[in-house]
Amino acid sequence: MQIVTILDKASAPETYEYDLSSSGASSIENLDGQLILRSADGTMLGGIAQAWAKDAKGKSVPTSYSVQGLTVTQVVSHREARVKYPVVADPWLGIDLFEAAWYGSENGQLKVNLRKSGWGQAMHTPGNGQAIFWTAGWDEARTKVPRITEKTTLHQQYDCHVGGGFANFAGDWNLEKWRVDRTAVWSWGVAIHRCNWTTAHQY
C-alpha cells in the first residue's frame, strides 16, 4: 500500500503521523530508515520502505522517519530546501516481499520462480535489505513454494540472487533443480555464472 501525501505550499506541515496500532504488530524496528513491523515473538509482519519525498521538478526533498511506539512520523524538511511545490511524500507499506511464486520445469526437472513485489524491490538494498531477504524472504518463499527446499542448490541460487539482485533488470528469479549443489561458496565466480552455475566448484 502506498500512502501519497501532497504538500502543496510552504505552509504545509513538515511532520505526518501514521498510527499502525491496528496492524497487529507489537513493535517497529528502524533499520537505517527501513521500518520492520514485528509480532510479539519477533516474526516480521511487514514493513515500510525508506522514506522519500520529491518536489514538482523531481528533486529529492530531505525526509526521514521517527518511531514512537506504533506511531510512525515522516519528517519532510521542505521549508528550507528551496523546493518547487507541490511536494509528494509517499510511505510505502508492504507485507509480501514476493508478489508471485510458481513452479515450472527446465531440463525435465523442477524450476522455482520468484518475482519481487514493488515493496520487496524497495526493501532489497545492500546490508539490512539483504538480511531481510535471507531470513524473512526465505521463510516467505518456503511458504509459497515449499518445493524450494528439495535440493541444496535451490537455496544456494536463492542466496545468490539476494546477494546481487538489487536492481530488477534480470526480472524473475529462476532457481533450477538440475544445477549441482555448490561445494564452493556461490560468490566464487559470480560475475561469470550470475547464479546460473553448471559446476559444483567453479562456474
pLDDT of residue 147: 98
pTM score of the predicted model: 0.81
Q: If you average pLDDT over residues 31-59, what whole number do you get?
A: 90
| Burial of residue 180, with CB atoms counted within 10 A of its CB: 0-12 exposed, 13-18 middle, 19 or more buried | middle
For the stretch 90-146, pLDDT in tens is 777 888 999 999 999 999 999 999 999 988 888 898 888 899 999 999 999 999 999
Of 90 and 65, which is predicted with more confidence? Answer: 65
Mean pLDDT of the chain: 91
What pLDDT score does 92 carry?
A: 77
* Residue scoring higher pLDDT (2 or 14): 14
Pull the grid cell for residue 29.
524496528
* Residue among 125, 162, 122, 165 nearest 140 (CA): 162
Position of cell 560475475? 191
Place of cell 512520523: 73
Rounded to an integer, what distance in angstroms lies between the CA atom of residue 5 and that of residue 46? 21
pLDDT in tens, 158-194: 999 999 877 665 679 999 999 999 999 999 999 999 9
Looking at residue 170, its pLDDT comes to 60
**DSSP type of residue 137:** I
